Amino acid sequence: MRGQCDRSASRQFDTVRPTPVQARIMTAALLLRPAPLPGFADLVMAAARCWRAARDGGLPVQQRLHALLSRRGFDMLAPVFDSLMTLYEAMLGRNVVTGQTEPSGDESLLLGLLEGSCPRCGAIGCEEGLAASFDGAIVSTRIMVTLAETENRDQERAPPFAARKAMLAASGLA
């Protein structure tokens, strides 16, 4: 069920149609859908579980997310996931439920929304302004994950700092 929409729980929202602005945002989000990254589902679930544990424990959420994500080279995503999860919880109208070993329904829905396999307008119904904010958070998360992955890849290919400094000095640019 990972990354799939559980439509049985959202039948009451089947008649919800997006506004023209929401339709444009959703189209852009589909176009900006990140290519499947190795470990993307694990990253999303780890961030969601960390966020939930920090919130439940009254701990600083972004600091906890940063500590988790920095081990994977995605430290810049801490505020992104904090915002995404806060809006997701507001859209659900209740606390996000996270799983222990298997993904929860909320985690599966979130992953489906991020991967684009589940359109938000059919899965979650809520106030239009909140829905537009959440759609923007989905697009922003996709963009930021792609940027972070690209940055990590580029840093792996780049020579170490000392080698770059020597190359710049040799070229006369330092």
Residue 108 belongs to some domain of the structure? yes
Question: Which range of residues forms the domain containing residue 22?
Answer: 7-171
Decide if pLDDT at 72 tops 70.
yes
Residue 1 belongs to some domain of the structure? no
Residue 30 belongs to some domain of the structure? yes
pTM for the whole structure:
0.69
pLDDT at 73: 86
- Going by pLDDT thresholds of 50, 70 and 90, the confidence category of residue 9 is very low
pLDDT tens, position by position, 11-23: 444 455 667 766 6
Could you please report the per-residue DSSP string of the chain? -TT---GGGGGGGTT----HHHHHHHHHHHHTPPPPPTTHHHHHHHHHHHHHHHHHHT--HHHHHHHHHHTTT-GGGHHHHHHHHHHHHHHHTSPPP--SSSPPHHHHHHHHHHHTSS-HHHH----HHHHHHHHHHHHHHHHHHHHHHHHHHHHHHSPPHHHHHHHHHHHT--
Q: Are 144 and 34 within 8 A, CB to CB?
A: no
* Percentage, residues of the chain above pLDDT 70: 63
Decide if pLDDT at 80 tops 70.
yes
Residue 69 belongs to some domain of the structure? yes
Between 132 and 29, whose confidence is greater? 132
Provide mean pLDDT across the span 165-172.
62
pLDDT at 148: 86
Decide if pLDDT at 102 tops 60.
yes
Residue 91 belongs to some domain of the structure? yes
Provide mean pLDDT across the span 107-124.
78
Provide mean pLDDT across the span 158-167.
56
Residue 11 belongs to some domain of the structure? yes
Decide if pLDDT at 77 tops 80.
yes
- Going by pLDDT thresholds of 50, 70 and 90, the confidence category of residue 59 is very high
Residue 57 belongs to some domain of the structure? yes
How many domains are there within the chain?
Answer: 1
Provide mean pLDDT across the span 3-7.
48
Residue 2 belongs to some domain of the structure? no
Provide mean pLDDT across the span 84-99.
93
